[in-house]
Amino acid sequence: MVENLVNRHSSAVDLHLNLAPNGSRKAALSEALREAVTSGRLESGFKLPSYRALAEDLAIARNTVAETYAELVSEGWLEARQGSGTRVAHRPGSPQEEARAVVRAEIRPQFEFRSGRPDPTTFPRSRWLASARRAVTAAPTHAFGPGDPRGRIELRRALSDYLSRTRGLVTDPRRIVVCAGFSHAAEILADVVAAPPFAVESYGLPFHRAIYEKTGPTIALPVDRDGCITDELATTDAQVVILTPSHQFPTSSSLHPRRRTAAVDWARTTGGLVVEDDYDGEFRFDRTPVGAMQSLDPDRVMYVGSVSKSLSPALRLGWMAVPERLLDPILEAKGVRESTVGVVDQLTLADLIATGGYDRHVRAMRTRYRRRRAHLIHALGERVPHVATMGIAAGLQVVVTLPPGTESAVLRAAGDVGVAVDGLSRFRHPDAAGKKVDGILVGYSAPTEHTFPAAVDALVNVLASVGRVR
């Protein structure tokens, strides 16, 4: 086969065609175009080059191209409309149509209540673009060379100041390490701490737990309304414990001060490490702000945060405030060059924080989510009066407890009407002690603003249809 590439100079598109070297040029072109369509390389609606352009690029007669196009139009492969040129026709069952069907099946349901999903319409595009423009303009030339594994100094300085001011951290830019979110930090830590097991809360994100379990089984610590029962650490052989002290996920409890102290004392006594996941730490409503646990002992507590809830999970931007003794091992595990977070995003976030844009955005989101939470709680109380909720003081989700054995029925009913919501059992550690609690986790940050009232109505109708919840 002779490979031909239609070039940009004559046709304005690149089009790769395989033309048989022997036989009729018209037959070869016809077969090559059919193959490009059936394989999915040319999608429905793709505009083909003009007769003249394609003839010139393939070194064949213009009439040959015109006759081939006409033949394929008559067979239904192509379609020609006055003024819009010749395009690939819509063909049901084609690879691209099947691919679109898969995409349609994966499109978000009508009402989105799954947790960990901030409203995507709230991303501060104008502020982000303005910060990007300023940051890129002001950045030194060397910023666009190989990256420092610690991250850009501009961002580390901005984070050190911001976290000290808003979360009470005790750190400095040298001990801040930029990463691509909490999962990336967990992967690095799993490489650094070679001696399992890791202790985790009995309820948490399963994909985070899976990272630690690559090194061996994890130990499940029970959780109640005062957060993780850290006293039980003393009965384990754990080397590391991962906690969500400011806002336990998914129960939304805050770790009791005495239990914070117990975890730090355990780390000091055993030489262990506490990893503080500051999940939803920015969003608090009905309680006094809770500072970061890291301030109790910066040498024994490693703090991890990200912008996944405050800005967008699509940014893949996070940070670690690292104890001195772990700084070199973490940088070695991360690699000699920054390969996970783009320099432009780092510079942009640094500018957004330094100019106050990040603070303003977080405050605006806190107001919006507080209003949504009130709307949801009012609707549940008014229309499903026997509902019980947990975790309403902070965070971006509410736990609705259900009668034993009804969680699956609620999830099925929700799915039938296009309501996406997580079951509480999804987050339960397989080795968790105690009685399993049926419930759903309602992430009220996920729906867009204009769909939120209808989304709440649909959710409440599901709960009412399955039966009275308590």
Please write the tens of the pLDDT for every residue from 229-277: 999 999 999 999 999 998 888 888 889 999 999 999 999 999 999 999 9
CB atoms < 10 A from the CB of 191, how many? 15
Q: What are residue 134's phi and psi, to 5 degrees?
A: -65, -45
Distance CA(187)–CA(184), nearest Å, equals 5
CB-based contacts of 65, cutoff 8 Å, min separation 6:
29, 51, 54, 55, 58
Provide the CATH topology of domain 123-359: Aspartate Aminotransferase; domain 2 (3.40.640)
> How many CA atoms lie less than 13 Å away from 26 in the CB half-sphere?
12
Domain with CATH 1.10.10.10 in the chain: 2-96
Distance CA(218)–CA(210), nearest Å, equals 9
At residue 391, the 3 state secondary structure works out as coil
- Which pLDDT value is given to residue 9? 40
- Residue 192, token pair as written in the block: 């650094």
Domain with CATH 3.90.1150.10 in the chain: 111-119+366-466
Q: What's the pLDDT tens digit per position in 186-234? A: 999 988 886 668 999 999 988 888 888 888 889 999 999 899 999 999 9
CB-based contacts of 431, cutoff 8 Å, min separation 6:
217, 218, 219, 220
Distance CA(269)–CA(277), nearest Å, equals 22
Angle, CA of 390, 420 and 470, to the nearest 5°: 35
Residue 332's region, left for phi above 0, alpha for psi from -120 to 50, else beta, is: alpha
Q: Which CATH number is correct for 2-96, 1.10.287.1080, 1.10.3720.10, 1.10.10.10, 3.30.930.10?
A: 1.10.10.10
Pick from 191, 209, 189: nearest CA to 199 = 209
Pick from 372, 366, 406: nearest CA to 387 = 406
Which top CATH class is 111-119+366-466?
Answer: alpha beta
Q: What's the pLDDT tens digit per position in 324-347? A: 999 999 999 888 766 788 999 999
Domain with CATH 3.40.640.10 in the chain: 123-359
Where does 338-450 have alpha helices with state H? 343-354, 357-383, 407-416
Question: Could you give the percent of the chain with pLDDT greater than 90?
Answer: 52
Mean local confidence (pLDDT), 10-33? 79
Q: Say what the pTM is.
A: 0.78
Distance CA(291)–CA(260), nearest Å, equals 11
